[in-house]
Structures are given as structure tokens and as C-alpha cells.
Amino acid sequence: MTHKGTIYVVDDDPAMRDSLEFLLGTAGFKVASFESAASFLSALPQLEFGCVVSDLRMPGIDGMELLRRLAEHDAPPPTLIMTGHGDVPLAVEAMKLGAADFLEKPFEDEHLIRAIEASLRRHATAAESAAERDDIAARIASLTPRERQVLDGIVAGQSNKLIARDLDISPRTVEIYRANVMTKMQAGSVSEIVRLVMRAGTLKD
């Protein structure tokens, strides 16, 4: 049976770990639990991607320090922080450190599940967007300096004749460069070229 994602529960309270394992497992998630942030961090390099649900108050490495250490990774997992101490400054600090959400105990089961699902969706969307930007950036990087100049002209809406005049080359040469640009950018139209450049965030003002 397929599962909705992997959840890593980090909590020093065995009863809370058991409760969350049962709840999340019933909701269709694959669950692994850890009795401390230190044990989770030790295992992290071997773990598949997932969402972390961590208590805030723990001996040794607490939830805040866990967020700080996860932030040092290139692609930190979405992390939800649980606390029995609903203190707004802590919530703000947790969010600044990268927490995906902040849940005050006791919380509704559905609230936790919705928060996890939303965090995983946001991460998936961000990852897909980043991968797409990287792919488009690689296509742009494959262009020669002259092809990049022609690309800039295309995106600016210039005709072949105007691009040729600006670059002091013949319109026929611009046509050749333009064809190369379309091929390397894997685009079938000018509008597609513009969309690609906009997605890559390299559109000039």
C-alpha cells in the first residue's frame, strides 16, 4: 500500500511518541520516531525525505536547536514544532528559524494532519519550482555569449532586423542564432521563450 509521506516524530515522551505513531499511521503516513533530537540528527543522513514533528522542550538538543541544525543542511525537511507552552515569542522565533508550523498542545488530531499535509505540499511545490528554475538556468547557461544576446533581444520583443542592427551582424546571422536559441531552450515559440526566462528569474527590466 502506498503511503502519504514519511513523518519523523522527535519527542522524549514515550507516550506522546506512541500516540503520534498510531495517529499518523492510521492517517496513512509512514512513521519513524526518535526519543531525542540527537538520535534523529545522527540518523538523518540515511533517512529518506519526510516531515519532522518535534517537541519544543526536550533535554539536550531542544526543538529550537534542532531547527538551527536542520537549517545548516542544503535542503532541510519541513519541521513542525509542538509545545505545551504556547508562548508567542517562541512561536515567532521558531518560524524565523524555519519551522513550517507551530502547534500548541493539546491540539486536534485533524489540525496536526492538515498542518503536515500542507507542509509536504508546500515543500513539493517549492522543490518542483526550484528544479524547474535550475533546469531553465542550465539551458540558458548552455547558450554562447552571442546566443544570449539574441535571447535578450527576443525577450525584449525585438525583430531580427533590430537585433541585427544592435549587434552589428546580418539579419540572416540572427536567424541562425535564433534557431540555435530555440533549440537549446527547448522552446517552440517566442511566448514560450519569454515564459521560460521569467520562470528562471533572469528577465531583464
For 63-77, the pLDDT digits (tens) are 899 999 998 887 788
Position 29 in a domain: yes
Residues 155 and 123 in one domain: no
Position 134 in a domain: no
Position 95 in a domain: yes
H-helix or E-strand spanning residue 137: helix 109-141
Query: Domain holding 190: CATH number?
Result: 1.10.10.10
Position 48 in a domain: yes
* C-alpha 51: how far from chain center: 12
- Last residue within a domain, chosen from 80, 99, 129: 129
DSSP label at 46?
G
Residue 202 has what pLDDT? 59
For 77-109, the pLDDT digits (tens) are 899 988 876 666 677 778 788 888 888 777 888
Residue 171 has what pLDDT? 92
Position 43 in a domain: yes
Residue 144 has what pLDDT? 95
Domain limits at 176?
Answer: 142-200
Residues 125 and 59 in one domain: yes
Q: Which of 1-5, 7-11, 129-133, 175-179 is least confident?
A: 1-5
Q: Using alpha carbons, select from 154, 146, 158 the residue that is nearest to residue 198.
A: 154
Residue 1 has what pLDDT? 45
Q: Total domain count for the chain?
A: 2
